[in-house]
Structures are given as structure tokens and as C-alpha cells.
Structure 1
Amino acid sequence: MIQGLGSNLLTVIPSEEPLTLADVDALRDPLYTPSIKAVAPQIGTFGTIHISNTTTQAQITGVTPEFLRVRNLEMATGTFIGAPHVESRAEVVVLGAQVSEDLFGNQDPTGAEVRINGRQFRIVGVLASQSGFGSLDDQAVIPITTAYYRLSGQRIPGGNISVDQISIQVRDVELVDQAIEEIETVIRLSHRITEADDFTVFNQQEILDTFDEANQTLVVFLGTVAGISLLVGGIGIMNIMLVSVTERTREIGIRQAMGAKRRDIVAQFVTEAVFLTFGGGIIGVIVGVALATGIDGRFLIGTEWSTRVTSDIPILAMIVSVGVGLFFGIYPAVRAARLNPIEALRYE
């Protein structure tokens, strides 16, 4: 989802002083912000959505029509919030995919009515399902003026409407730095700032880079954990095979007395070690595929998880399993092959 927003997205959030719709109007002026393509303010609050005997909790987000384009959203059914809805403070709502499913199942709810925090709202559309961090599947979207005056807003000095954040779409990725300068200049003038800024501008590309770094760190961490697990598992296999060699010393002596060569003994114990790890690999693949399939498309920790198991993953897992068996089975096998036949036959 974050990648889907694009690297030409900027987000402005307040710190000491609130951002207002007056700031939004100033940012929309092409005379002062020629690098900006669209500006979408938003207000967020939590609410209870109720219909008949079904109730669900959801994030209620107040937006303007530009929000659809700035956030690269698509409609599954119906229409999005329009300018007339914002101007008239209309009590209309666009449901996220998961909220719609929770309330109406697979039915199209467009045109139906729900109650949000006790107020009657008409559903005008449903957003297409998304995935990943930042998904709106578990949210409901209403006009920003409705959110402010009907649900969550607190008036600020001057009677303006405060907003939680402002999402800004830049005309081109190459203009991001220029757009940041324009935004800072406009808001500083609007807030009459002479010292430190009372707002922060976030660059979507910086967020993407941060997530990439975190992902790489996670990959290294998981790789290290996997490596340690393989080492511990391999040592366990080696110990099991050493115990097996000790318990089967007399059997080894009998095989040697009957003409078995060292390579035959080595092959026997290496094969046994490989079969052990191969069986463990099969169980691991089955459990892994089952878990991946089980969480695919489910909402966990506030976001929808999307998993994909390609054919190369089970193959790689089995190759690694066999490799562990070969590597850690060699020492016990060689030790078994080097036993003295006479001493082995005397062993009890």
C-alpha cells in the first residue's frame, strides 16, 4: 500500500499550532505552489457503525474529493465524496472493503443507510480492497465538513476548521524538493512564523526508503535466526547419529566381517541422516505453506496480509534440508566406518 501511494506524495502534520482549511486553500493557489498537483486534508476519529443487528468499530476519516486521487484509491461500487457533499455537510459515507463485508457480507451496500455514532448516514460507495500498511479497508470515509461539525470537530479561534494532516500530490517526482520549499513558505506565511516551524513535512520517498531499510534489516535478522536454527538442528542430527553409531557398534562389526567396505558404512549412515532431515523438511514445508495460506487475505494487527508461496520455496527448503543431512551426517558416518571390526564384534 505504501508503495502504491507513490514517491511524489508529501504529508504535512501539525505540531504546536493546528493546520486548518485556510492553510489548505493557500496551498492550492498555483501562484504560490506551482509544483503541487492536488491537496487533500483529512480529519480522523473513531466511531461505531450500526445497521440492524450488526455493529462494527472503524476509523472515520473526513476528506475532500481530492483524497481519492492523491491516495491512488479506486472505487469498487458507487461514487466517492463529491464537492456538493462537502459544501452541504452531507451525511453520506464511503465504506472500506472490510467494513462493508463486516456489515453487509458480499452484498452491494450502495444506497443503504447506517448509523455512525448515532447519526444517520447514506452509503454512496465502497472502496476497492487494498493491502499493506495504510490500507483504508477498515475505515469509513465521510465529507470533511461533516466529520468536523457532526462528529469530531472542535472549533478553534477564528472559527476555522482544523485538520489532522494534509496529503499533497506533487506534479512530478523531480519537483518534490521544490514543492517542500513552497509548502514551508506558504504555511510559514499563513501562520506568521518567524522562528521554528510549527509543522512537519514528510516525504513519501523517505518513508519508502525507511521501510526498505527496515525490510533489509528484517531479512538479515531472519536469515541469522534461520542459520542458527539450521546449525542447532544439524548438531542435533549429528548427536543422534553418534548415539546410533554407539548403539549399533556390534551391527557395524557384523557388516564389516561379512565384507562391507568403509564406503558402504559411510553411505548407510549418511543416507539415514539425509532421510531424517528430508522428513523434517517435508513437515516444515507443509506447516509453512499451511500458515502462509491461512493468513493470506486476513486482517491482522490492523492491516490485511498478503502471502504468496512460489514453487521455488519448497524446492529450496528441501535442498537445504538434504544439505544439512549430508554435512552433519558425514562425521558420524566416518566414525562408524573407522571402527575396528574385532572390537566392534566384542562390543556389548
Structure 2
Amino acid sequence: MIFFQSIRMALLSIIGNKIRSFLTMLGIIIGVSSVILIVSLGLSFNNQVTDQFGDLGTDLLSVNIFGYGAVTSMTPEEVNDLGHIPGVGGVSPTITGSVTAKNRNRNTDTNVEGVLPAYEYVKDFHVQRGRFLLNIDNQYRQKVALIGSETATKLFGMQDPVGRDIRLNGDTFTIVGLLKAKGDSLMGSNDNKILIPLATAERFLQTKGIQSFEVKARNPQNIPAIKEQLQQVLTAKIGDPSGFDIFDAQAMIQSAEKTTALLSASLAGIAGISLIVGGIGIMNIMIVSVNERTREIGIRKAIGAKKGNILLQFMIESIFLSTLGGSFGIGTGLGLVWIAGHFTPFQIQYAWSMVAISFAFSFIIGVLFGIIPANKAARLRPIHALRTD
């Protein structure tokens, strides 16, 4: 009965001073909402980066050769020999260039890649219609091509491009397959491209030698060992480690996750300071409340209220102020996250664990910062309290 009476008196005190109570809770509201917003956006950004790098393949190593001295490239045979490294599932050399593709009165600028049949497995590119490139296409330098879905739409609209001819920088190529849509990645659009046989690309693009290729591991766990082997082989071939670069999506994901987690934690810590400031505000206003209600406390003690009753009343009032502020802060934070999801390109991820932590933290703040004022009220001597005007 005494407990519920204390709750009633605490609520009456808060409602009786609406503006002061709101301003007291404002620090908690800002702190909680800021923490939820920052952590949710950090989590969303981390997931976005992970997905983007994941699209490149966590079981892939991308090698780019810049050259050192006279050695600026490798032959297709030398690249294919890297497939004998333990743990390697496939190797795909690539020659890349830009062309103007034309179909009658339609034309578009796009990328053309000279590849081998292994490209289908290594890069996980498959056709939705037609066929993929064959070894015989490369052997006889056939002028055949695979076309990306975006490029196909630009050149053929809704028509089926398989079996049709296109002109690439004036040369005629026959389309033998339409690639499945892959969407965008950090490297740009995966659908705005044309694939042709590697040997054909060497002559067509007037490029000799391979300067970029991908290595696919049978298991992502083999990536570190394969990367070390590649570095040894390429250093021996090119002569200097600065002459090539090995891009490891798996390592980039781990690095991005650590960076994002550190940044989010730092920003959340800064935002969390406002929770402490809010707690100090609650303690300050509770001390003011005790001073204002000194005579009331004296009367209650004079008619039989115990020290614990007074302590409980002011502790409940402090906890109510803090948890109400935390609740409003949670609602505000989730609202801001929802708004951010409509005005940013991120796939928003709500930090529900942080919601629970924020509410618990606001409760703890109410307890910790309410102890001093509540104890001050409970220790007032009735005779001194009743003398106060």
C-alpha cells in the first residue's frame, strides 16, 4: 500500500511540474535517441559494406599487375599454371577494354572483357539464355560474345539478343548467350558488359599479355595460404612486390567491420555522455524538489512516515523521470532511424539490443542519481523541516 502511494505521489509531483519534468528528461531523451540512431546507422553501414564486398566473393583473390622493369604482364599459360597451387579451385585471366557497341540505330558505350570458359565458375557468371563461351571459341579466335542484361536492354530493348549480331568498334560479333542479371557491386555495374574469348580480345583490343586475373579458392579458409603462395610466385616472376596487387575481399570485410565497430562505439560513447549529463540534471532537479518540499517532508514525518517511506518516494520519482525520458528517447531514436531509412541508400538495421541496453541504462541512471537527493530528504529531522518556510 505504501509502495503504490509513493508511486502516486511521485506521479503527481511530475505532472504538477510538466515543463520542469520535460526539461529534466530532455538530456536522457537526447542521449538515448542519439545512441540508438548512431549504433543502428553504424550497423546498417557495416552490413552494406559487408554485402558489397561479399558480392565480389569472399573466396576470390583479384590480382592486378602493374609491372616492374621489363615484366609488365603474364601469359595466359603462366596464369593458368597458378591453378596448381594447393587449395585453388580455378583461375580466370581477363583482358579489359572499352568499346562502342552498336545494333542498327542503337549504340552504347560499354566494357568488353576477354575471358576463358573458367570465368563462368570463378566469377559465378551464368547465362539465362544461350550458352557460355567454349574452349574452341578461344582456340579459333571466334567473334562470339556474351552480353549483359543491361547492355542487352540498351541495344535490343525487349527482343531476345541471342543469335543476333552486334558491332563492337566496327567489328561484327555474334551473340551466343545472355548473362543473368547480377546487379551492382563496388566495381560498378555487373550487367553493363560484353564478354568475348580471351584470344579474340588480345587481337581485337590489341593487347598482349595478362595484367589482371582472379583466383578462386575451393574453400574461403584457404584464402590466406593461397595469397601467400601467389605473393611468392608473382614476386619471383615480376621481381618486386610493388609490381602487383592482390585484392582480398575477405580481409577487406574484416577490416571494414573493425573500423565501423570502432567508429560506432566512439560515436555512441560520445552520445552516451549526454546520458550522464541527463542524470546530473535529474539529481540537480531532485535536490531542488527536496528543498522546495522540506515542510511537506517534515509534516509527513511528524504524522508517522518512516525514513524508508520518504526515501522510496523520492527514489521512485527519480526513476520515473529517468525511465520516462529513456522511453521517449527510444521512441525518438527509432523514429529517426526509420526516417534515415527513407532518405539514405542504406538497408536500415535496427539495433534492438541497444534499445534494451539504453532502457536499462536509463533505469540505472535514475537509481544512481536519485540516491543522494532521496537520502537527503529521508535524513531531514522533522523539527527542522517544520521550521522551514
Q: Does 1:11 align with 2:62?
A: yes
Query: What's the CA shift for 1:260?
Result: 2.2
1:307 paired residue number: 349
Task: Give the equivalent residue in structure 1 for 2:218.
Answer: 171
Spell out, residue by residue over 1:275-319, the C-alpha distance to the aligned partner (whole angstroms, 9 max, x if none).
11111221222233334445559863xxx4351454x55443322
More helix by share: 2
SS at match of 2:285: helix
Alpha-carbon distance in 1 for matches of 2:60, 2:294: 71
Q: Distance in 1 between matches of 2:241 and 2:179?
A: 42
Tell me the SS of whatever aligns to 2:64.
strand
Q: Is the 8 A contact 1:63 1:141 kept in 2?
A: no
Determine the C-alpha separation between the residues in 2 that align with 1:8 and 1:184: 19
How far, CA to CA, are the matches of 1:252 and 1:42 in structure 2?
84
Distance across 1 between alignment mates of 2:132 and 2:340:
36
The residue aligned with 1:115 is none
Aligned-pair distance for 1:338?
Answer: 1.9
> Which among 218, 233, 238 is matched to residue 185 of structure 1?
233
Give unpaired runs (5+ residues) of structure 1. 48-58, 113-118
How many angstroms does 1:137 deviate by?
8.4
TM-score where L is the length of structure 2 = 0.58
Q: The residue matched to 1:10 in structure 2 has which SS?
A: strand
Identity over aligned pairs, percent? 26
Q: What is the TM-score normalised by the length of structure 1? A: 0.64
Structure 1 residues 261, 297: CA separation in 2 closer, same or farther (over 3 Å shift)? same
Amino acid at match of 2:347: W
Shift of 1:181: 2.4
Give the distance between the partners of 1:63 and 1:275, measured in 2 at CA: 69
Q: For 1:213, give the aligned amino acid.
A: K
- Matched length: 305
Other-structure match for 1:258: 303
- Structure number with larger C-alpha Rg: 2
2:315 to 261, 270, 276: 270
Question: Cα deviation per residue 1:225-246 (whole Å; 9 max; x = unaligned)?
Answer: 3553432222222122222222
Match of 1:336 in 2: 377
2:133 maps to which residue? 83
Gaps of 5+ in 2: 1-50, 100-109, 162-169
Q: 1:138 to 1:3 in 2, by over 3 A?
A: closer
Alignment partner of 1:127: what SS?
Answer: coil
Q: Is the 8 A contact 2:231 2:241 kept in 1?
A: no
Q: CA RMSD of the aligned region, Å?
A: 5.0
- Counterparts of 1:45 and 1:272 in 2: how far apart (Å)? 71
Alignment of 1:278-317 (within 5 A): 278-295=323-340, 300=345, 304-310=346-352, 313-317=354-358
- Structure-2 separation of matches of 1:319 and 1:42: 55
- 1:325–1:37: structure 2 CA closer, same or farther, 3 Å change rule? same
Which residue of the partner structure matches residue 166 of structure 2? none
How many angstroms apart in 2 are the aligned matches of 1:256 and 1:166?
84
Give the whole-Å Cα distance in 2 for the aligned partners of 1:45 and 1:277.
63
Alignment-derived partner of residue 37 in structure 1 = 89
Aligned twin of 1:210: 255
1:95 and 1:126 in contact (8 A); partners too? no
Q: Give, in angstroms, the shift of residue 347 of structure 1.
A: 3.2
Question: What residue number does 2:194 align with?
Answer: 143
Distance 2:239 2:215 in 1: 24
Secondary structure, counterpart of 1:140 in structure 2? coil
Question: 1: distance between equivalents of 2:188 and 2:159?
Answer: 16
SS where residue 83 of structure 1 aligns? Answer: coil
Tell me whether 1:245 sits opposite 2:245 in the alignment: no
Give the letter aligned to residue 37 of structure 1: G
Corresponding letter in the other structure for 2:181: L
Matched, 1:221 2:276: no
Query: How many angstroms does 1:82 deviate by?
Result: 3.6
State the distance in 2 between where 1:267 and 1:26 align: 80
* Inter-partner Cα distance in structure 2 for 1:278 and 1:44: 60
Which residue in 2 is equivalent to 1:347?
388
Please give the alpha-carbon distance, in whole angstroms, between the structure 1 residues aligned to 2:97 and 2:278. Answer: 50
Q: Secondary structure at the match of 1:166?
A: strand
